[in-house]
Structure 1
Amino acid sequence: MLVEALHRNVRFVGEAMDALALGPRTHDHLLELACGEFDLQWDTAAPVRDRTGWLAVTGMVDLFDRQVHLTEAGRRFLATIELGRPELDVADTVAQLAPTPGAIARLVEQLDETGLRGRADGANLYIPGVAANGGVLDALQVLTEAAIPSVSDADFVRFVQSTFPKAQTVATARTAKDTLKALGLIQRTSSESWTATPAALAWVESGEPLDLARTVHSAIAFFGEVLGELDQTIRPTTGTLTERSSRYVPNRGKPLSRSAVNTRLNLLDACGLVTRLSQTAYRTTARGRAFKESLPCFQPDGAGSRAPSDGATKNHHGDDPLGTTHQSDSPGSRIAAVLEDAARDSANPERLEKAAVVALDYLGMPGQHAGGPGAVDGHVRFGIGTDSRILAIEAKTSATGPVRDQPLFGLSEHRVGIGAQIHLLIGPGFERRMLKEADDDPAIAVIDTGLLAEVVRRQEQTPLTLTQLAPLVDPALKAAQRGDALRACWEAQDIRSRLEYALVDILNVEAEDPLEEGGWLDLTSIRRELRTRGYRVDEGTVVEALEFLTSSRIGVLQRSEQRYRCAASVHTAGQRIRALGYQWVAATQHDQQTRSRDEATHAWLTPRSD
């Protein structure tokens, strides 16, 4: 039954029906219930309307008189399902933690500042099996037990391949083995064999998930620290966590991949330290808060934090009252930080006006600040050449939450004054009625400053073109839809990067196989290997990625008719791709120096009019 599948896989479907059993509700009432009791991070009633629309199609509810009514069919179905209840996990709850075994306690004791900095990045984590419902713990335990008392490299690879259907290639099995090493669960006994570490043995014996979590925290960066990031008033998404991760991996110098962050979140979830709120949102549980306070954690300002003996919560964000984190050493992070701070500075609204212009300019939309009564706050140009258009800016500040009761009349006259057809309404969230009025206006695009700051921060690591940035300024989209549209673009780039990495790795493995002369693979074989790694991509996408890697500017693959082979290691491939960025920066600096020199020469040769 369709509605049963929806309830089983989507939050707040059956639960919405349960609320309607007490009487009809408006969509706004259901939204308040979803946010207040189920901690769903929804800014508008759009997700609620989606669910009531599904239920109406299946005959479970009826929509009339601006309210949602449960039908008799809905009541009968409601009696047959199990409902998910809100998790009672208030901030004041204190969880009791089980004692730590000696081998694991010694690992934690070694986490002074040097120990915290010396942890592995954990950048390429892969745990085979099912991530949900604790499956990740089962997989790690099975793999760890395979190394008791010891196991050879070859036998371990064969064990992974025979145990996990999605880990059939040698490369995937090796990645699983490397993951166990990175997590502190196995160690070498010789050049060809492995054994479980003392900490892993203690965890297998106790069966306590927290013993595994302590071992992992002692081995890789940005694990226990994730709990502190999630426990902020403004809870970050997985995308934001990915960007912030660079502050916690000092040996890496750049953010982790979203896959590496998701692996950490899945493991924390399996250990009961976080709870999943949506596809991209998590919350630290009471157990997670107690666990974090029991650990030494890395502080982004450069000092390792010993766990406070009195249980007091430490502020891991310096003196920032918002608890936000920034990469202060990058232009995008500085621009984003100013934007977020200015959005709360109601005493000086001109700061946000200027910050919005600077942020959009950084994204490739040049413009200028205007301000003053009866005029736009600023304007930017979107697009290149004759296809470009002018976008007006209206910036609104609020020190206490969403912007409330700010008039929007007169904006159309302001647009006429500068030849703009679209207004960007920018602020730190908007009160529901004001947001609806702006969202319903076909000439206004509502942009939350939090989202704009996220886009600016991500522009350095995952830059979007103006075409890809179009959802940010498209007035046809509701404010709640912009983030999802942009994250789809980021995710597509992440997937493409992982695909390119997989292609180079597959061909490297083929080149190292002594039974395969020359290391050549045709397109069909490559796609088969990709499918064993879980990639479901069409032939055109694979060919496009292969052509990029064989291009003269990259040149890490070679092509002969329809066959490909590796011409460089995975490490060298990464160096080649990074080098393109350095070369562009050097070319830009050279061009700027040449222009400055030419302008100075022209000024010197031009006779003065006086």
Structure 2
Amino acid sequence: MIGELTANQAVSPNGHTSLPQAGGLNRSQLQRLVRSGLLSREGPVLLPSAAARAWHRSGDPSLLIETLHINVRFVGEAMHALASAPLTHDQLLRLAREEYDLPWATTGPVHNRTAWLSVTGMVDLFDRHLHLTDSGRDVLARLALGTPASDDTGVTTRLTLATGAVADLIDSLDETELRARADGANLYIPGTSANGGSLDALHMLTEAAIPSITDTDFVRFVRANFPKARTAATARTAKEALKALGLIQRTSSETWSATPGAIAWIESGEALDLARTVHASLAFFGEILGELNATGRLTTGALAERSVRYLPNRQRPLSRAAVNTRLNLLEACGLVSRLSQTVYRTTPLGLAFKDSLPCLSQEDALSDRPADTRADCNPSGRPDADRQSASPGEDIAAELERAARDSPNHKRLEKAAVAALGYLGLPGEHVGGNGHVDGRVRFGIGAGSAILGVEAKSAANGRVVEQPLFGLADHRAEIGAEITLLIGPGFERRMLREADDDPAIAVIETELLAEVVRRQDHTPLTLDQLAPLVDPALRAAQRREALSGYWQAQEVRSQVEYAIVGLLNAEAEDPLEEGGWLDLTSIRRGLRSRGYRVGEDEVEEALAFLAWNRIGVVQRSERGYRCTAGVHAAGMRIRALGHQWSAAAHHREVRPSDKESQP
């Protein structure tokens, strides 16, 4: 099919073509052919690239493989690996992940590449191993191979310019317009989010509104075309999402039409036109690209917490689901790449795209808020040296990040690492000096506690080069520790592998440690929940994912508690219901209607917490449960507990003689 498609003179970017066999390619598949270098865009149509035409004329498969290698990672590199010895798909996957930092969870991407190599005669598969053929060796000798790299630094990319209605949208984005964008707290795009499915869904829904569509017909269209959106409420939510994304607008009390920007995207088929249109309408969209680039590998949960800094019309952060919808769109447009289930990074195209956009900075978003709701952060997310930060945790995290790059002053990171661990509940002290451990901390209390050694390595370029690890055992013996915490901004690949393989070393990147410290102010973890941070059985790349489960559980727990108070308050305000009582079954049913599917034990635990006499916002009787205070009062009482503990700690630190001298 690909050979037949490249022989055609022009193809619509929306997937329409006169070739019956090519018409089976959907829009996302055509976009992949563009990224593979086989199709090129010229105005509103896709044409075979010069390389594709040369391959089609000659029939030489080596030209196809050379084109794919130039445009797709891990094609020639896979051939290079097979030149040394036959390998299985699993072994190639391990190589792609460890040597080239490719974020692949399954062998699917490897199979995709080796399928091309197999049909072109470059590799042969037998005995479950891939073998490089003589033809493959001849082609490999002509390829310029890349070197393993953990990022895309130095990669150049060509950014297509905005034109027409989309360019007008971007040009109109002054600070007032950026502030007026929709929060998009309840975004729902029907269909799948993977493999460009979200773009196909948006394309289909937007086309349905050209020239116009009624409310009733839109709901009917969604329910007819998307199996998972069968209810009228879900279809209406999808319609509101398209409005928030800037793709449809009301033209009467009953009808909707596609916006000029959306029509321009439909005509061009250019994913960046969609991204620009969405950015012009939706808050915290293009700004995500800057956050990921400036702050490092943030999880979706961390991005959700930071979102409130860019939402001038909202006092609460976005949900993880709302952030995930944004990330799925950015990924489908090629602006971010997924490193794991919850971690993304900005692509070179994304960086160029971000620089071309007017974006709302944190200071701009927060400048009109009351002073007590502002976050004193600059656009990079780190506090200025001469400005008071929002919390001690922010100060400690920021110092840790700065110290990690201050390689001439190695003791600075040693002290910062000990301070960060102490803030998390691992008290200790800085030691330092030649031949000694950098620090020691204690995990746990009493007889069950354990001493951990701290070794901190800074690097100005963010990557610690090869350093011997054999002396760490002596350092552990010196302080009676069983585990070494090796802390640094990043480590050279071979050093990281050696440390990860050592059962007595837990590798912790300063970026993750700083994130844990920052989160501890708002999503605190217990010591048991923090265990993955210092567990030597986990590799460095696995720690964030292990902690994310606990963070997510904490967030869900808080959301459930908040929802329970809201449900009971609504029941109390209902004039038809006497007393405002709800039994456990009714509460669980109400939570399900709000999207929370939690077990009975979890609901009872949350109710017991809210009924605790130190909070006392829920009352229990044989009739069930009811609220004795509003949502705001409940939040104030919970926050007050923290203030009481701080006051108690201050009182404990005041000496008796000081108290006697106070009036």
In the superposition, the TM-score normalised over structure 1's length comes to 0.71
Deviation (angstroms), 1:348? 0.8
After TM superposition, the structure 1 stretch with the greater mean CA deviation from structure 2, 576-585 or 354-363, is: 576-585
Separation (CA, whole Å) in 2 of partners of 1:521 and 1:142: 43
2:522 is matched with which residue? 461
Deviation (angstroms), 1:341? 1.7
Cα pair distance change 1:429/1:231, threshold 3 Å = closer
1:599 is matched with which residue? 656
1:273 is matched with which residue? 335
Q: Which of 615, 619, 643 is the matching residue for 1:586? A: 643
Separation (CA, whole Å) in 2 of partners of 1:557 and 1:604: 43
Separation (CA, whole Å) in 1 of partners of 2:185 and 2:205: 20
Deviation (angstroms), 1:219? 2.3
2:423 is matched with which residue? 362
Deviation (angstroms), 1:234? 5.2
1:353 is matched with which residue? 414
Separation (CA, whole Å) in 2 of partners of 1:447 and 1:458: 16
RMSD: 5.1
Cα pair distance change 1:31/1:535, threshold 3 Å = same
Q: Which of 416, 421, 424 is the matching residue for 2:482? A: 421
1:312 is matched with which residue? none
1:91 is matched with which residue? 155
The structure with higher relative contact order (CA 8 Å, sep 6+) is 1
Paired residues of 1:136 and 1:267 also in contact (CA < 8 A): yes
2:548 is matched with which residue? 487
Deviation (angstroms), 1:371? 1.9
Separation (CA, whole Å) in 1 of partners of 2:610 and 2:209: 38
1:72 is matched with which residue? 127
Deviation (angstroms), 1:416? 4.2
Deviation (angstroms), 1:259? 2.1
2:267 is matched with which residue? 206
1:256 is matched with which residue? 318
| Structure 2 counterparts to residues 23-422 of structure 1, below 5 A | 23-24=84-85, 34=96, 40=102, 71-75=126-130, 91-97=155-161, 99-101=163-165, 104-140=166-202, 145=208, 149=212, 151=214, 166=228, 175-185=237-247, 195-196=256-257, 198-199=259-260, 202=263, 206=267, 208=269, 209-230=271-292, 236-252=298-314, 255-285=317-347, 287-300=349-362, 302=364, 325-326=381-382, 329-331=389-391, 332-422=393-483
Deviation (angstroms), 1:532? 7.6
Separation (CA, whole Å) in 2 of partners of 1:377 and 1:272: 43
Cα pair distance change 1:516/1:210, threshold 3 Å = farther
User: Which residue identity lines up with residue 117 of structure 1 in the other structure?
Assistant: R
In the superposition, the TM-score normalised over structure 2's length comes to 0.66
2:57 is matched with which residue? none
After TM superposition, the structure 1 stretch with the greater mean CA deviation from structure 2, 235-244 or 111-120, is: 235-244
Paired residues of 1:394 and 1:424 also in contact (CA < 8 A): yes
Which secondary structure state, in structure 1, belongs to the residue aligned with residue 195 of structure 2? coil
Deviation (angstroms), 1:211? 4.0
Separation (CA, whole Å) in 1 of partners of 2:425 and 2:129: 51
Cα-to-partner distance string for 1:223-264 (whole Å, 9 max, x where unaligned) = 112233445695555455445434433454665333222111
Cα pair distance change 1:73/1:477, threshold 3 Å = closer
User: Which residue identity lines up with residue 471 of structure 1 in the other structure?
Assistant: P
Paired residues of 1:171 and 1:509 also in contact (CA < 8 A): no
Paired residues of 1:20 and 1:70 also in contact (CA < 8 A): no
Cα pair distance change 1:557/1:588, threshold 3 Å = closer
User: Which residue identity lines up with residue 137 of structure 1 in the other structure?
Assistant: L
Separation (CA, whole Å) in 1 of partners of 2:535 and 2:219: 50
Separation (CA, whole Å) in 2 of partners of 1:602 and 1:532: 54
Separation (CA, whole Å) in 2 of partners of 1:281 and 1:211: 25
User: Which residue identity lines up with residue 383 of structure 1 in the other structure?
Assistant: G
Deviation (angstroms), 1:94? 1.0
Which secondary structure state, in structure 1, belongs to the residue aligned with residue 529 of structure 2? helix
Deviation (angstroms), 1:100? 3.4
Cα-to-partner distance string for 1:252-286 (whole Å, 9 max, x where unaligned) = 46653332221111112233433445433445456
Separation (CA, whole Å) in 2 of partners of 1:189 and 1:290: 35
Separation (CA, whole Å) in 2 of partners of 1:241 and 1:223: 11
Matched, 1:438 2:502: no
Deviation (angstroms), 1:392? 2.3
Deviation (angstroms), 1:129? 3.2
Paired residues of 1:554 and 1:577 also in contact (CA < 8 A): yes
Which secondary structure state, in structure 2, belongs to the residue aligned with residue 380 of structure 1? strand
Deviation (angstroms), 1:472? 1.0
Which secondary structure state, in structure 2, belongs to the residue aligned with residue 476 of structure 1? coil
Separation (CA, whole Å) in 2 of partners of 1:516 and 1:403: 65
Deviation (angstroms), 1:92? 1.5
User: Which residue identity lines up with residue 244 of structure 2 in the other structure?
Assistant: A
User: Which residue identity lines up with residue 156 of structure 2 in the other structure?
Assistant: D
Cα pair distance change 1:467/1:482, threshold 3 Å = same
Paired residues of 1:21 and 1:70 also in contact (CA < 8 A): no
1:64 is matched with which residue? none
Separation (CA, whole Å) in 2 of partners of 1:296 and 1:445: 42
Deviation (angstroms), 1:340? 1.7
Cα pair distance change 1:597/1:553, threshold 3 Å = closer
Deviation (angstroms), 1:345? 1.6
User: Which residue identity lines up with residue 583 of structure 1 in the other structure?
Assistant: A
